Amino acid sequence: MIIPHLSQLSVLSISSCEKLKEIIANDDILTSSSSHGPQLEKKTVFPQLKKIVLEYLPWLESFIPVGYHLEFPCLEELILKKYYKMITSFTVDYLTLSVHAKTNQASQVDDASPSQKYIYWKSRKPTYLPQYVEEAEELSPLK
């Protein structure tokens, strides 16, 4: 229920939340995303978001639930530090520099030996994220 109120969000910064498991939960987006059928992913655009910083989140598993797709067309900076368990992937369309986030499937993470992860991406130096592959579906903007 939160997502429709975030269309003007320009910076998202979350740090040192030791028990945080997900940024956006199923309850948050239940009514805001459009569905293109029972087996297709639900997509949403954050039109104003320019910066995402997620750091020191040892239990973070996902940015969004499995089967959802977010697009950040104005994102200029993406910083993720020490997020050991996250299964959400970030990609970029190098033609438009739109960043995409998807959580495609749940995976098992070894709790005993978490890896130290770090992503730093800037639109002026777009070399650190994988290429986004366009699918033949439309995105629904936030309202």
SS3 118: strand
Structure tokens at 6: 């975030």
Its sign, for the CA torsion 81, 11, 102, 23, is positive
pLDDT, one tens digit for every residue, the chain (143 residues): 566 667 889 999 999 998 999 888 876 654 444 444 445 668 889 999 999 999 998 888 888 888 888 999 999 999 988 877 888 889 988 888 899 999 867 555 555 444 557 888 888 765 567 677 766 555 555 54
Q: Say if residues 118 and 82 touch (Cβ distance below 8 Å).
A: yes
pTM, full prediction = 0.73
Q: Give the pLDDT of residue 112.
A: 47
Q: Where are the domains of the chain?
A: 3-122
